[in-house]
Chain A
């Protein structure tokens, strides 16, 4: 089955800084999704990234805070900008269709701690 790699796996960041998370898929996919998993909360979709077009953001998430790039069909990045402790979370990349038409496959996640 296809592999999704995320980097970094974890990081500790200072308040006010920005961090970019990378997601690499070993096959070409049309849609890539970025989720956030805060402690004790459900997985929440941040945005959908399609190659060749701007990302579509869910309610409560904005491009200035979470800019996304999708330069090709196997790669995407999510930047968490001007971080605060409330941004401490696990960020997960996922793709659709690798294990079934409507099934999402997830990366291992990037655990960010903001001090």
Chain B
């Protein structure tokens, strides 16, 4: 069974204090790993897709990396507006629906001034 585990559950950072969020996964046939950002009262907002080990993607202060077992979301010099819940999801083959994302529980990030 596909599993996605995110750590830590919650993270508090000072503004400018860089850190990383972890997403560990076990899937049969990874077709893609996705990172989303979710603000309170809103739906998840797409950030990145990674498809193969060694791949990296960047957007402003965020950088996502992928290995065969996990992905990291690195946050460099975060600002208070980066506060949100960050969700990791994997797309695997062999689902009844033919296509589905399997989500982790997320990491709640708070960046204080």
CB < 8 Å neighbour of A92 from B43, B91, B104: B43
Does B106 sit at the interface, judged by CB under 8 A?
yes
Bound: A48/B97 CA distance, A: 6
Stretch at the interface among A14-22, A62-70, A78-86, A103-111: A103-111
Q: Chain B contact residues (Cβ within 8 angstroms of A): what range?
A: 20 to 34
CB distance from A24 to the nearest CB of B (A): 14
Q: Contacts A106-B44, A108-B43 given: A100-B100 contact, CB under 8 Å?
A: no
CB < 8 Å neighbour of B43 from A31, A56, A100, A107: A107
Interface centre among B45, B46, B106, by most A CB within 10 Å?
Answer: B46
CB < 8 Å neighbour of B99 from A40, A48, A100: A48
Bound: A31/B89 CA distance, A: 18
Using CB atoms and an 8 Å cutoff, list the residues of chain B in contact with chain A.
4, 31-32, 34, 41-46, 49, 87, 89, 91, 96-101, 103-106
Using CB atoms and an 8 Å cutoff, list the residues of chain A in contact with chain B.
4, 31, 33, 40-45, 47-48, 56-59, 92, 94, 96, 99-100, 102-109, 111
Nearest 7 interchain pairs by C-beta: A106-B43, A48-B97, A43-B103, A42-B103, A42-B105, A56-B97, A45-B100
